[in-house]
Amino acid sequence: MKRLLEPYPVAHEGKRARDDEQAAADKPDGDDLPKAAEGWIPHRDPTEYKSQPVQTVKAYKNTTFLNSPHARSFRFCMEYEETMQRLAANGIKATVQFFGSARALEREQYDEKHAAITKTLACAIQGSDEAVAANTAIKKLEAMEWMVEYLEKTRELARRLTEWSMSSRLSRGAASLNGVSRSKSIAELDNYAKSSEEDESFNARSDKSTFSYLPHVTDGRCMADSDLKGGLFVCTGGAGGFMEAANRGAAEVPGGRSIGMGISLPFETGLNPYVTPELAFEYHYFFTRKLCMAFHMQALVVAPGGFGTCDEMFEMMTLKQTGKMQAAMPIVLLGKAYWKKVINWEAFGDAGVINARDVDELLFTDSVDEAFEHIVNAIGSSSGSPRR
């Protein structure tokens, strides 16, 4: 019998039919197990039952359970592990992360939208609900026009970084980048294992470790052995606006690839079309998404944005400040006037809640050239790769 009974009653017969079709399409579980010897007789012949046997579903195939609150911790792990495995399979060892508003528009998009609203406003009766809505819409749109310039700069910066990475030693394996620096923690683990062998008091303990864990796919020691082509890859949140501009800039380089790490939201309809398909991800949990964004980050570019952009930006700044990310990681805030206006950076230091150098190390700029040179110089010196 191929039907798998639902663990809970299902009222909708259409869903049951689809489940039956999927179950029939799947290879029956256990087909790869050794076959019973010819002539083997089961402990009890199924024909002896007066009713049909009870059908079961394994826990890892039980979608009702997997999507329940009880399996939440497993979903955390799956989002992390699937991302890390796929990045490693594609040779991704280092990224430059781009944050920014999804609302920014290209010049062509802006002009088309402005013309459509202007037409609606011209045809609407003055004072009508339609006219009021059109007036509100055009004011909101015109307030965003200044971002057009920075969207083009974001696209150009991503293009130049991708081109530089592909033509430099980073992509030819002569230099390596391993994302967030873990060399210190790895060395501490190795030293602990060695000292433990020599420590008599440790040897007397019953919990003495008698084995070493193999490196994970994200471990620098493991990644260093990979013969996959490396390099520095543009990574974004996968949506529109500044994120789309960065992915598009990378895609404009022949052979250029880029990563999109999207998040499931009611008003999002998928990743922008410039994300490389095999490097397209979608997350349910914001925190696993940010962890995956941070894991291989070598540089950060923050274009103008709102609450979401600031949330991600301060998270990464905190990781750098507390030593969870490399201290030399360059951070560029594109749109100098905007970032100086919306956040009083100097007030943090004046109030004594941060060190002044935490702000001094940030690059506020409107120049693509300055941003490019700042990132390339920092990454080039840390990897041993000369600027190209």
- pLDDT block averages, 10 residues each, the chain of length 388: 41 51 55 69 66 84 92 93 93 94 93 93 88 92 95 98 85 50 47 52 52 67 55 95 97 96 86 96 95 95 97 96 90 97 95 93 98 92 48
CB atoms within 10 A of CB 352: 8
The first and second tokens of residue 186, run together, are: 């790895």
Rounded (5°) CA angle 3-82-289: 120
Question: By three-state DSSP, how is residue 20 classified?
Answer: helix
* CB 71 within 8 Å of CB 65: yes
The first and second tokens of residue 136, run together, are: 């509100």
pLDDT at position 33, please? Answer: 64
Contacts 24+ apart (CB under 8 A), 104-109: 104/144, 104/147, 104/148, 104/150, 104/151, 104/240, 104/241, 104/242, 104/245, 104/303, 104/304, 105/144, 105/147, 105/148, 105/151, 105/241, 106/148, 106/151, 106/152, 106/245, 107/148, 107/152
Give the chain's domains with CATH numbers.
Answer: 13-67 (no CATH), 78-104+146-207+214-383 (3.40.50.450), 107-143 (no CATH)
Distance CA(155)–CA(107), nearest Å, equals 13
Q: Hey, which bits of 19-104 come out as E strands?
A: 94-99
Distance CA(256)–CA(171), nearest Å, equals 12
Sign of CA dihedral 20, 25, 26, 31: positive
Strand partners, 258: 234
363-365: strand order across its sheet: 280-283, 258-263, 232-236, 94-99, 297-302, 331-334, 363-365
Backbone φ and ψ for 281, nearest 5 degrees, come out as: -125, 155
* CB 285 within 8 Å of CB 76: yes
Please choose, from the candidates 133, 141, 136, the residue with its C-alpha nearest in 3D space to the C-alpha of residue 115. 141
Distance CA(83)–CA(88), nearest Å, equals 9
Strand partners, 259: 235
* CB 309 within 8 Å of CB 293: no
pLDDT at position 40, please? Answer: 73
Question: By three-state DSSP, how is residue 123 classified?
Answer: helix
Q: How many helices (H) and strands (E) would you count in the chain?
A: 16, 7
pLDDT at position 79, please? Answer: 95
Please choose, from the candidates 80, 157, 174, 219, the residue with its C-alpha nearest in 3D space to the C-alpha of residue 373. 157
Question: By three-state DSSP, how is residue 261 classified?
Answer: strand
pLDDT at position 379, please? Answer: 87
Distance CA(260)–CA(97), nearest Å, equals 10
pLDDT at position 306, please? Answer: 96
Question: By three-state DSSP, how is residue 186 classified?
Answer: helix
Burial class of residue 362, CB neighbours in 10 A (0-12, 13-18, 19+) = middle
pLDDT at position 189, please? Answer: 42
Residue type, 124: A
